[in-house]
Amino acid sequence: MKGKFVAGGAVIAAALAYMIYAGVTQSAVYFVTPSELRAAPVVGKAYRLGGLVQPGSLRWEPRSLDLSFALSDGKATVPVRHKGTPPDLFGESRGAVVEGSWTADGYFKASLILAKHSEEYKAPHDGGTTLGKDLIRTLKGDGRQ
Amino acid sequence: MIPELGSAAAIVALALALWGAVAAATGARTGRPALVLSAQHAALGVFVLVTACFALLTYAFLTFDFSVRYVAINTNLGTPFYYRITGVWGALEGSIILWTWMLALYTLIVILRHRESAHELYPWVLTVMLSVMAFFLLVITVAAPPFARLTPVPADGRGLNPLLEDTGMITHPVALYLGFTGVTVPFAFALAALITGRVGDAWITLTRRWSIIAWYFLSLGLLIGGWWSYHVLGWGGYWAWDPVENAAFMPWLTATAFLHSVMVQERRRMLKLWNLWLVILTFGLTLFGTFLTRSGVIASVHAFTQGSIGVFFLSFLALVLLTALALLAWRWDALSAQGELDSVVSRESAFLLNNVLLIAAAFTVFFGTVFPLLSEAVRGVKVSVGAPFFNQVNVPLFLALIFLMGVGPLIAWRRASPDNLRRSFLWPVAVGVAAAALFSALGIRSTLAVLALALTVFVAATIAVDFSRATRARLRMGERLLPAMGGLLRRHNRRYGGFVVHLGILIVTLGVTGSQAWSVQTETTLRRGEAAELAGYRVRFDGLTATEESNHFKVAGAFTVSNGRVLSVLRPTKKFYPQEQSPIAGVDYRLGFGEDVYLVLGDFARDGSEATVKLQVNRLVSWIWIGGAVLTLGALLAILPDRRKPA
């Protein structure tokens, strides 16, 4: 009796080990910096690329939903393209992590953008308020037309 | 003054908890009830003092006492009254206080319920619970002091993380922590059983309802977390295999295994060691989860504050595991099984397989979550595995578990006869196969979806077969239909409570399957008056409005949703908080039994002429929440006091 259970357990353990192995090899995502990616880019491999969005590089076309920017780590920059709205915390001179792959056409095709959120304590600043007031003004003005 | 009172209360509570732990242990060893009584008083004192801490911190929030660092970070003058209260546990320090308070509450209820029984285990249960409490009080006084001062005192605070300004945030942490702390009770009984050497069934019988309560709150916490993610985070999903979610999911898996394996011990006197180990593992995983999410070793989308707290939790976890292992080794001889497995085709082996699969799932989640750490340590490259890994490995495990959910409760103990198998499973299997054929014929192409739905039907059919069989037996005794069914539920509340919980899980499975298989989405930029179409819905952009709220500015889009006729106007928003670097998106949706229309406002033109919107039609998601409600009913039924007369 005991033998059957031991054999059953071994089969399950082997199946699980195989599933985990297959799962890891198929969905592994490599964390790289722009310089690391530039040094040895592999087309089609899944990367998670982290860096700073270079000032002046951000292009956003609302009609076609084309987003392009460059991620930099100070030593190297990587052009990134994405289809879709930039996330809330995304912007120039801010940290961002993108997931996707390197293409043969020489750019990084991002399927997912994760913006970095700062949790540090800081006093409330005026920027947000001005932006909000500005929005209220333009939108209300627009409403009266 | 108030903050100093709070800190002092925490220190005194720590001293009392330590005293109580030692007193209860000494009282038990030397047989002096007066010491156990003193420990009880100490536990009561701890409860009062922790309640005071909690109240004082709440008071500091309500009065905007920005000289307290924690208050200054998590609230500002614009934070509405309601969120100043929930903000108390909006971040690390306060949530540890909430956790400790719940632990103190559980300890108090344990005392009230079990002190009269004067069971041999009882003083040791007190010792363990007060020791765990002492650890949390140590964290409060040293690692994460909620009453620490901030100088200079700012004129205004930073404000609560806007994502936490939601009703889900009052219930989600409360439910989850009630689950986490609830696990402490069976854990304390398990250790007490090991210490006293009474490793028989007493600790399991005494903690049966405690385990169900803890398990239920863990489930509820996970479900509410999913709901919060779905309706606040605005990415259109409810589960992302994020480390924080995994941290709560692992103890749920092992607790589920525990609830099932104790039945084998009660019935067959087997798995003694396994059950002790499962409850220790579950408790360890609640600590590990806190370590994982609060230490910052794993990057998570949930941005929590980091600090020395990780070291505290890891050290305590090591201490707990070492103590438990030492106790297990010490009592090794008493832990051998009295019963034996007779056949592969039996309820014991169904439950055993259920346990193996649940532990395999927990291990998979653990492995995937810590994989970046492992790969960096072993190979020096940082590699993570994402949602595809977790889905790929877990989905087969979960499907097998659902199948067992149908088999386990009906198959006979010891050795299932061909007759038992035929009577219990002929119809359910036939119905399940028919359902699979029907779903395929209806054009469902995803094999996984067909399999999941057919298994769901199979399990539902086993429940129907069992219930109707038992009802008919009562009808033959001359009872009428409704009293017969009611009496069945009440007298066998544990069994049928379990069935209702299973139904709840099946309904959740239906929702998960539907949303994974059939949800569709699109993203587009619309001019005012222009419309997007998806899955038979037309969504027209009617314009933007901006308003000023107490602590933020809000831009809302108006979108008319129609499918031939106008259904509703959805208003997804973007909120601009002065203390945040970027706006926060607010989702709007139209929930339905079949599908939800779900809108997220992306970018927009400053003059309101254009807006980018993400439009999703999510199928069957509502059934996840409905399943949660059914699960609640089942858990309530299962914890009703047992009415069966002893045979």
DSSP B565-600: SEEEEE--EEEE-TTSSS-EEE-EEE--SSEEEEEE
- Structural element, H or E, at residue A4: helix A2-27
CA distances in angstroms from B180 to B266, B276, B629, listed in the order given: 25, 17, 20
Asked if the model's pLDDT at residue A123 lies above 80, the reply is: no
Contact partners, residue B67, CB within 8 Å, separation at least 6: B3, B149, B150, B151, B153
Topology given in CATH for the domain delimited by A25-120: OB fold (Dihydrolipoamide Acetyltransferase, E2P) (2.40.50)
Q: Which of A29, A32, A45, A113 to mutate to test the interface with B (most CBs of B within 10 A)?
A: A29
> What does residue B540 show for φ and ψ, rounded to 5 degrees?
-105, 135
- pLDDT at B548 (0 to 100): 87
- Structural element, H or E, at residue A145: none
Integer Cα distance of A7 and A2 in angstroms: 9
Integer Cα distance of B538 and B561 in angstroms: 6
End-to-end CA distance of chain B: 62
- Closest residue by Cα to residue A71 from A101, A109, A34, A115: A34
Integer Cα distance of B622 and B594 in angstroms: 8
Coil vs helix vs strand at A90: coil
Query: Are residues B292 and B316 in contact, defined by beta-carbon separation less than 8 angstroms?
Result: no
The minimum CA-CA distance between A45 and chain B, rounded to whole Å, is 12
A with B: how many residue pairs have Cβ under 8 Å apart?
164
Please state the ipTM of this predicted complex: 0.82
Could A8 and B344 be called an inter-chain contact, meaning their C-beta atoms sit closer than 8 Å? yes
| Listed range (A76-85, A134-143, B371-380, B597-606) with the worst mean pLDDT | A134-143
Could B614 and A91 be called an inter-chain contact, meaning their C-beta atoms sit closer than 8 Å? no
* Alpha helix positions (H), B331-412: 347-379, 387-407
What sign for the dihedral angle of Cα B375, B376, B378, B379? positive
Could B582 and A91 be called an inter-chain contact, meaning their C-beta atoms sit closer than 8 Å? yes
- Alpha carbon of residue B517 to chain centroid: 24
Query: Are residues B578 and A28 in contact, defined by beta-carbon separation less than 8 angstroms?
Result: no
CA distances in angstroms from B268 to B201, B271, B335, B494, listed in the order given: 11, 9, 14, 18
Integer Cα distance of B532 and B518 in angstroms: 19
The answer to whether residue A145 neighbours chain B at the CB level (below 8 Å) is no
Integer Cα distance of B32 and B153 in angstroms: 52
The answer to whether residue B417 neighbours chain A at the CB level (below 8 Å) is no
Q: Token pair for residue B69? A: 């660092």
Contact partners, residue B163, CB within 8 Å, separation at least 6: B232, B233, B584
**Chain position carrying tokens 């952009």:** B541
The answer to whether residue B555 neighbours chain A at the CB level (below 8 Å) is yes
- pLDDT at B173 (0 to 100): 86
The answer to whether residue B117 neighbours chain A at the CB level (below 8 Å) is no
Could B341 and A85 be called an inter-chain contact, meaning their C-beta atoms sit closer than 8 Å? no
Question: Around Cβ A100, how many Cβ atoms within 10 Å?
Answer: 20
Asked if the model's pLDDT at residue A128 lies above 50, the reply is: no
Could B610 and A12 be called an inter-chain contact, meaning their C-beta atoms sit closer than 8 Å? no
The answer to whether residue A105 neighbours chain B at the CB level (below 8 Å) is no
- pLDDT at A6 (0 to 100): 86
Q: Token pair for residue B513? A: 């399957």
CA distances in angstroms from B463 to B134, B472, B550, listed in the order given: 45, 14, 52
Q: Which of A4, A5, A27, A67 to mutate to test the interface with B (most CBs of B within 10 A)?
A: A27
- Closest residue by Cα to residue B186 from B205, B202, B210: B210
Give the DSSP letter of residue B611: E
What is the edge-to-edge ordering of all strands in the sheet holding B595-604? B520-527, B610-619, B595-604, B588-590
Measured CA angle at A86 (ends A84, A89), to 5 deg = 155
Integer Cα distance of B640 and B114 in angstroms: 17
> What does residue A46 show for φ and ψ, rounded to 5 degrees?
-85, 125
- pLDDT at A127 (0 to 100): 43
A 107-136 residues with CB below 8 A of B?
114-115, 117-119, 121-129, 131-136
Collect all residues of chain A within an 8 Å Cβ-Cβ radius of residue B352.
Answer: 5
> What does residue B376 show for φ and ψ, rounded to 5 degrees?
-70, -40
Per-domain boundaries in chain B:
1-165, 189-297+313-416, 417-518+629-639, 520-620
* Alpha helix positions (H), B229-346: 243-268, 272-295, 309-330
| Listed range (A89-93, A99-103, B349-353, B476-480) with the worst mean pLDDT | A89-93
B522, burial (CB in 10 Å: exposed 0-12, middle 13-18, buried 19+): middle
- pLDDT at B92 (0 to 100): 84
Q: Which of B581, B584, B603 to mutate to test the interface with A (most CBs of A within 10 A)?
A: B581
- Closest partner CB to B582 (pick from A5, A16, A89): A89
Integer Cα distance of B494 and B626 in angstroms: 22
Coil vs helix vs strand at B541: strand
Coil vs helix vs strand at B506: helix
CA distances in angstroms from B8 to B56, B59, B71, B140, B141, listed in the order given: 11, 16, 18, 11, 9
Collect all residues of chain A within an 8 Å Cβ-Cβ radius of residue B614.
Answer: 84-85
B 392-411 residues with CB below 8 A of A?
392-393, 396
Query: Are residues B317 and B283 in contact, defined by beta-carbon separation less than 8 angstroms?
Result: no
Q: Token pair for residue B584? A: 């926060």
Asked if the model's pLDDT at residue A135 lies above 80, the reply is: no
Label residues B50-88 b or e (16+ Cβ within 10 Å = b).
Answer: bebbbebbbbbbeebbbbbbbbbbbbbebbeeebbebbb
Name the pTM for this structure.
Answer: 0.92
B297, burial (CB in 10 Å: exposed 0-12, middle 13-18, buried 19+): middle
Contact partners, residue B416, CB within 8 Å, separation at least 6: B343, B345, B346, B347
B 369-388 residues with CB below 8 A of A?
371-372, 381-388
pLDDT digits (tens, 9 = 90+) for A27-65: 888 888 899 999 988 898 889 898 889 999 999 998 899
Could B608 and A142 be called an inter-chain contact, meaning their C-beta atoms sit closer than 8 Å? yes
- pLDDT at B357 (0 to 100): 96
| Omega cis (within 30) before B372 | no
The answer to whether residue B59 neighbours chain A at the CB level (below 8 Å) is no
Could B579 and A62 be called an inter-chain contact, meaning their C-beta atoms sit closer than 8 Å? no
- Structural element, H or E, at residue B147: none
Q: Which of A25, A117, A145 to mutate to test the interface with B (most CBs of B within 10 A)?
A: A117
Question: Around Cβ B629, how many Cβ atoms within 10 Å?
Answer: 11
**Chain position carrying tokens 């997220």:** B600
The answer to whether residue A20 neighbours chain B at the CB level (below 8 Å) is yes
Question: Around Cβ B423, how many Cβ atoms within 10 Å?
Answer: 14
**Chain position carrying tokens 């040293």:** B142
Write the single-letter amino acid at B540: R
CA distances in angstroms from B546 to A95, A136, B531, B540, B587, listed in the order given: 29, 5, 21, 19, 16
Query: Are residues B394 and A39 in contact, defined by beta-carbon separation less than 8 angstroms?
Result: no
Write the single-letter amino acid at A133: K
Integer Cα distance of B159 and B161 in angstroms: 6
* Alpha helix positions (H), B442-492: 447-476, 481-491
- pLDDT at B359 (0 to 100): 96
The answer to whether residue A89 neighbours chain B at the CB level (below 8 Å) is yes
Q: Which residues of chain B have pLDDT under 50?
A: 300-305, 645-647
**What is the CATH number that goes with domain B520-620?**
2.60.98
Q: Token pair for residue B498? A: 């379990």
Q: Token pair for residue B641? A: 């006091």
Query: Are residues B305 and A119 in contact, defined by beta-carbon separation less than 8 angstroms?
Result: yes
B 334-363 residues with CB below 8 A of A?
340-344, 349, 352-353, 356-357, 360, 363
- Structural element, H or E, at residue B478: none
- pLDDT at B301 (0 to 100): 42
Label residues B10-47 b or e (16+ Cβ within 10 Å = b).
Answer: beebbebbbbbbbbbbbbbeeeeeebbebbbebbbbbb
Integer Cα distance of B36 and B118 in angstroms: 10
Coil vs helix vs strand at A111: strand
> What does residue B463 show for φ and ψ, rounded to 5 degrees?
-65, -45
- pLDDT at B47 (0 to 100): 97
